[in-house]
Homo-oligomer: A and B are copies of this chain.
Amino acid sequence: MTTDDTAAIPDFAFTVLATDGSLATDGGPSARATSGGRLGRLTTAHGEIDTPAFMPVGTAATVKAMRPESVAATGAQIVLGNTYHLMLRPGAERVARLGGLRAFMAWPGPVLTDSGGFQVMSLAQLRRMDEDGVTFQSHIDGSRHRLTPERSVEIQHLLGATITMAFDECTPYPATEEQAAASMRLSMRWAERCRAAFVERPGHALFGIVQGGVYPDLRRESVAALTSIGFHGYAIGGLAVGEPHDEMLAMLEHTTPLLPGDRPRYLMGVGRPQDIIAAVLRGVDMFDCVMPTRSGRTAQAFTRRGTVNLRNARHAEDPRPLDEGCSCPCCRGHSRAYLHHLIRAGEILGPMLLTWHNLQYYQDLMRGLRGAIAEGRLAAFAADTLAGYEAGDVEPV
């Protein structure tokens, strides 16, 4: 690439366009408006991302059951890829030879890759962790592999990630304060090595990950360590791993105000619509979760009236769309009765349509949140959305 080409690529940037500090209305554990909702925009080498943003998960170089054009049609501006899965199959070097993950999966927009750390702990066999990294066996074929901070960053570079995540250990829940401290401090030493290994390129970013379990002092220490290293953005890890909802919210309220206001904040692996709303009220900008895609493959739909299980016999002759308020092809073109039939018959089109709808629901939610922040009515939007969600499904026909 010539210098002229490089010059055309914008620097990675995050701009806060509006804030809305109204927090206390969502029934969270505290009324302290530590950090309200933020409307923002991420500028990257591969396109812009409006925040708060939800990133569909494309684990193995595909958002399951969706063509990339369809993912884009829902309004998604960035997708997530998994270092762990891709290093095992088809292999990071192979993806690099094929032009990187974006070309490989035909997703022209930005891609965020996780570091592999979380999946090594949840999926791989015979893990052995040491100060330098982790050795493990593939859950696919038992082959041996090693991940270190340097190798994780290298893999993400080979994948061509727009946003690279620091390699860390996701502290499990529950953990004693001592365990959480040791785990967090290891992650901080790894974060420094990731920063050193990361190759700066215009429009590309490296995010650090705050750990510390449910211990406020450890979270504070982790933020201090990361900000002193300096990252393009900051993720909050180790939440939504089994702790009570209130504990998650308390940790968020504690942590987000500590983070630099001019950098994006990403709450990893979250979550349910109500969790996302609560986190946006607390100043989070980015989210990812398998929930909309995974639920789409198990007959579970997210709607403006809460979750709906299409396998349920009540839908068998229901001619209405899944969600009256949704404009996705599933809701525009098909009845609940048809979706129910597809699921009962084990037809692939069932997961295809429900996945599309669920991703559309999540993107509509994010669009709604962004609009509400822009217009200073975030509290009302959150209350209305949660009220509709909790009202439950429409009456049977």
**For residue A345, which residues in chain B have a CB less than 8 angstroms away from its CB?**
60, 62, 89
What 0/1 pattern do residues 323 to 348 of A give for CB contact below 8 A with B?
A: 00000010001110110011011011
Contacts of A351 in B (CB 8 A): 348
Residues 164-201 of A at the B interface (beta carbon under 8 Å):
none
Q: Least Cβ distance of A207 to chain B in Å?
A: 26
Q: Answer yes or no: A97 CB below 8 A from chain B CBs.
A: yes
Q: How far is the CA of A98 from the CA of B340 in the complex (A)?
A: 13
Contact check, A349 vs B65: say whether CB atoms are below 8 A apart: yes
Q: Verify if A104 is at the interface (C-beta below 8 Å from B).
A: yes
The answer to the question of A68 belonging to the interface, with a C-beta cut-off of 8 Å to chain B, is yes
Chain B residues with CB below 8 A from A104, complex form: 335, 337-338, 341
A67 in contact with B98 (CB, 8 Å): no
Chain B nearest CB, measured from A265 CB (Å): 31
CA gap between A96 and B106 in the complex, in Å? 41
Contacts A317-B94, A348-B351, A351-B348: A338 and B61 contacting too (C-beta < 8 A)?
A: yes
- The minimal Cβ–Cβ distance linking A72 to chain B, given in whole angstroms, is 12
- Find residues 345-371 in chain A having any chain B CB closer than 8 Å to their own CB: 345, 347-349, 351-353
The one of B65, B98, B316, B341 in contact with A61, judged by C-beta atoms closer than 8 angstroms, is B341
Is A99 positioned at the interface, with any CB of B under 8 Å from its CB?
A: yes
A38 interfacial by beta-carbon distance below 8 Å: no
Answer whether residue A224 sits at the interface, using C-beta atoms and an 8 A cutoff. no
Kindly identify which residue among B97, B105, B317 contacts A338, using a CB–CB cutoff of 8 Å: B105
- What is the CA–CA distance of A338 and B86 in the complex, to the nearest angstrom? 12
Is A319 part of the binding interface, using a Cβ–Cβ cutoff of 8 Å? yes
Identical chains bound together, number: 2
A334: nearest residue on chain B (CB-CB)? B106
> Which residues of B are found within 8 Å of A329, using beta-carbon distances?
67, 69
* Most B C-beta atoms less than 10 A away, residue of A65, A94, A337, A341: A341
Q: Are A348 and B316 CB-contacts (below 8 A) given A90-B341, A98-B335, A338-B104?
A: no
Q: Which residues of B contact A341 (CB under 8 A)?
A: 60-61, 89-90, 104
Please report which residues of chain A, range 49-81, place their CB below 8 angstroms from some CB of chain B when the two chains form the complex. Answer: 60-62, 64-69
CA distance A344 to B140 in the complex (A): 11
Q: Could you say which residues of chain B place their CB within 8 Å of the CB of A67? A: 329, 333, 349, 352-353
Give the residue of B97, B317, B333 whose beta carbon is less than 8 angstroms from that of A97: B317
Across the interface, name the chain B residue whose C-beta is closest to A355. Answer: B348
* Bound-complex Cα distance A90 to B336 (A): 13
**Contact between B316 and A347 (Cβ–Cβ < 8 Å)?**
no
Contact of A349 among B62, B317, B333 (CB under 8 A): B62
Residues of B within 8 A of A337 (CB): 90, 94, 98, 104
What are 16 A-B interface contacts by the 8 Å CB criterion?
A60-B345, A61-B341, A62-B345, A62-B347, A64-B347, A64-B348, A65-B348, A65-B352, A67-B329, A89-B344, A90-B316, A90-B344, A97-B317, A98-B335, A106-B338, A348-B352
Top 9 A-B residue pairs of the complex, sorted by shortest distance between their CB atoms: A65-B348, A62-B349, A90-B341, A60-B345, A106-B333, A62-B347, A98-B337, A106-B334, A104-B338
Give residues in A with beta carbon < 8 Å to B. Answer: 60-62, 64-69, 89-90, 94, 97-99, 104-106, 297, 316-317, 319, 329, 333-335, 337-338, 341-342, 344-345, 347-349, 351-353
Other A-B pairs beyond A61-B338, A64-B349, A89-B345, 6, CB < 8 Å: A64-B348, A65-B352, A67-B329, A67-B353, A94-B317, A104-B335
